[in-house]
Structure 1
Amino acid sequence: MVIKKRNSFRLTRFILLKLPYLLRLINKLFKPRKRLLIIKIDAIGDYVLFRNYLEVVRTSQKFKDYEIDLIGNIAWKDIALWYDKPFISRFRFIKPDELYESPRKVLGLALSLFNSRYEIVLQPAYTRTFIGDGLAALTGATNIIGFESDTEGIAPRYKIKTDKYYSELLKLPKVLYFEFDRSRFFFEQVLKQSIDLTGPHFPSKDAGKQGVTVFLGAGNPKRGWRTENFSQLMELIMAETARPVNLVGGPEMEETAQQIEALLPPESVINMVGKTSLPKVIDHIMRTSLVICNETSAVHMAAACGTKAVCILGGGHFERFAPYPEHVYNRTIFVYEKMPCYNCNWLCIYDTAPGQPFPCIDKVTLADAWRATRKQLGILPMPA
């Protein structure tokens, strides 16, 4: 996140650091309602890994009689409204990064949250952010639970202050590194019950799986495999199989999709990039036989749909979001070239030209990706 409007940020910072103490003082004059707020404002893939716990909370002995509200990232609004509406009383969707430079919006949201009289606020993300901590505190609630957190998403000078907003900060056992397992630990501690979820899942449909889907995009372009690699991999697939090949991705990938189409025989692929909503993307992944993607939301959607996948993986968050542990999901092949600098939180130590992938991504060869793809498609191994 880059701050461009310094004065606006200073006003927002003042609201986030000072107003919570006044609101908490005023809140003592009122009786809280049986109302729970969950704050989950990170990216689409994070939500796919998290969302099944909403039903657990909704049906739990502790919160079954509560109104349960959710502050979420507008990026995954369509998924939440399509799949998770039965478990949430009220959704509030925000653009988290924009709020840092929007003090009026933050103030308006603060007053709305405060007037909701939440009894408990939960912040289940391990990597907390300044805006997330601030929104939790602006409720005026005295019972706010979160993780101790690292400082990847919040500067230490702010974290030392926002730590004080929490009534309880959970310490994560070192053995729990995968994100889905971290969420299970959080809710088991809060709910005081064991949770038997084994992995993310969407409601299954009785649909035959067919075709290959190449999902373009990676959040940060430098975390994506080269366009020409994808086009060459698709050529190999079409040479070995008659299965239809689909291109899927967000509107920001339309130009890349056109570049790939230009490198392939005319009308050889079905270009769906920028033409489908997230629920329809999930429905499509549910019906496809193989997803090929970067480390992005698509790999988590594939796991939640029970669909095989090949994922081109870098090392920024290695083993936190991918590869999946065997006990969570074992139908994805992750293709990567491990480097000593793995787990850098995507703060790459190498200088790379604009538009060039990080070295850990660029080291993944076409041959390695093709080998994994052949295995997933059930094609006989390549000759030695």
Structure 2
Amino acid sequence: MLKPILREILEPIVELCINILAYTKPKIHRQKSIVILRTDAIGDYLLFRAFLSEVRKAYSNHHITLIGNSAWKPLYEYFDSSYCDNCIWINTAHFQTKHIYKKIKILRHIKQIGYELLINPVHSRDELNATLASHINALSKIAPQGDDVNLSPRKKTRHDRIYTTLTPSTKDIIFEFYRNKEFFEHLLQKPLETSPKLHLHCPPTRAIPTKKPYGVLFIGASAKYRQWSIEHFAEVGAYLMQNHKHNILICGGSADRESGAKLTQILQPIAKECGQSLCNLAGETTLVDLAFLVYNGNLLVSNETSAVHLCALLDTTIIIVVSNGNHLGRFIPYPKEIRDKYYPVLHPFITANYARYKELSNVFAYKSTLDINDIQPKQVIDVIEQIYTKEQK
């Protein structure tokens, strides 16, 4: 009871101190300049990035700066670096309380340039985004009306006062690519036919360590409650090796090394028995490496995470995504017109009540507390069997 009260009292004081310490006048006032602010996760970036080209076309004679999350810097540099003239990369961990010095240093850095226009396309703005937007020096600032899922209504109202324009936002839950499209159509004042597709444009950065056919098991996710168990992944991996003669690549982030080793230990005897190759790459690949691996594979089985968005927008491999319904309607499922070889395996409660999709998407659009491990391996295996049976006809 005491902690929330203390937080309520101390937060404005800390914020005021940071504002005072970060204060500096702009050293450069850049004519015909735009700054785009996008600090959310990799999946958010992948469903936004196509609109960078639209901004570049509309403001061809402007200097464009992107302030982005360093987590997706490699993807930006590979796919989109031609659209912006300058980038400022933010390590979001530095905005935790224990990194106040680094936070002030970054804020002082971004305040040194005065821009004509700030474009902040983030619909669900959070504390980090709001703080950065308030410290950017720009004559005009534009953002979508958005929602208050990441900020209290009081805080959002206060932060929204910094904008000269808030564009209308549809109240319904819609797929995130279309949410971005809605904002950029308002910004550019014209309908857009933008495609979210990604295109690989040079040889792989590393050799693919197995031969086709192969399946990728992506075991990572941003939160524990979004991670399917290693034992469940193992059953699917064993099925792919035993029934479809697939080689297996295990992928994930650096935090998934231990889980990758555990899955390898379970599957190694089965791989040996079947004569299939098994390679554990958890924590060993860059995002661009991962793009090539999933692009050239036959099948991706993954938690609902950035690997799914990367694979979906490359438009190649069959994707099977295991999800407890988190972000239902916003990030999952993909609309058929964007990606057809995409098969969500959802929590049994959602599957049983799918006729109530609109109601469920409003409940789970921002977070689901359903246990992802209620989804059984057989549900995933049945989907794979249906896909491969259909392909053989």
Which of these residues, 141, 150, 154, is aligned with residue 151 of structure 2? 154
TM-score normalised over the length of structure 2: 0.83
Match of 1:117 in 2: 114
Which of these residues, 312, 319, 322, is aligned with residue 303 of structure 1? 312
Which of these residues, 87, 90, 94, is aligned with residue 91 of structure 1? 87
Which range is displaced more, 119-128 or 369-378? 369-378
Q: Distance in 2 between matches of 1:185 and 1:211?
A: 38
Match of 2:267 in 1: 264
Q: Distance in 2 between matches of 1:166 and 1:94?
A: 22
Judged with a 3 Å threshold, the aligned counterparts in structure 2 of structure 1 residues 186 and 100 are, in CA distance, closer, same or farther, namely same
Which of these residues, 362, 378, 381, is aligned with residue 370 of structure 1? 381
Structure 1 stretches of 5 or more lacking a match? 349-357
Match of 2:35 in 1: 37
Count of residue pairs the alignment pairs up: 363
The within-5 A match list for 1:183-332 is 183-203=180-200, 210-266=213-269, 268-306=277-315, 307-332=317-342
8 Å Cα contact 1:110/1:135 also seen in 2: yes
State the Cα deviation string for residues 173-197 of structure 1 (Å, max 9, x = none).
Answer: 2356100001111111111222212
Q: Distance in 2 between matches of 1:209 and 1:144?
A: 50
Q: Distance in 2 between matches of 1:202 and 1:9?
A: 44
Match of 1:354 in 2: none
8 Å Cα contact 2:260/2:280 also seen in 1: yes
Which of these residues, 65, 71, 74, is aligned with residue 69 of structure 1? 65
State the superposition RMSD in angstroms: 3.0
8 Å Cα contact 1:9/1:100 also seen in 2: no
8 Å Cα contact 2:94/2:100 also seen in 1: no
Q: Secondary structure at the match of 2:250?
A: strand
Q: Secondary structure at the match of 1:86?
A: coil
Q: Percent identity at matched positions?
A: 25
The residue type paired with residue 89 of structure 1 is: D
8 Å Cα contact 1:313/1:334 also seen in 2: yes
8 Å Cα contact 1:188/1:194 also seen in 2: yes
Structure 1 residue 206: Cα displacement: 9.5
8 Å Cα contact 2:324/2:368 also seen in 1: no
8 Å Cα contact 1:198/1:327 also seen in 2: no
State the Cα deviation string for residues 9-68 of structure 1 (Å, max 9, x = none).
Answer: 666522677799x87xx77x99652111111111111111111211221122xx111111
Q: Secondary structure at the match of 2:115?
A: coil
8 Å Cα contact 1:12/1:100 also seen in 2: no
TM-score normalised over the length of structure 1: 0.85
Judged with a 3 Å threshold, the aligned counterparts in structure 2 of structure 1 residues 191 and 380 are, in CA distance, closer, same or farther, namely closer
Which range is displaced more, 191-200 or 46-55? 191-200
Q: Secondary structure at the match of 2:125?
A: coil
Structure 1 residue 200: Cα displacement: 3.5
Q: Secondary structure at the match of 2:290?
A: helix
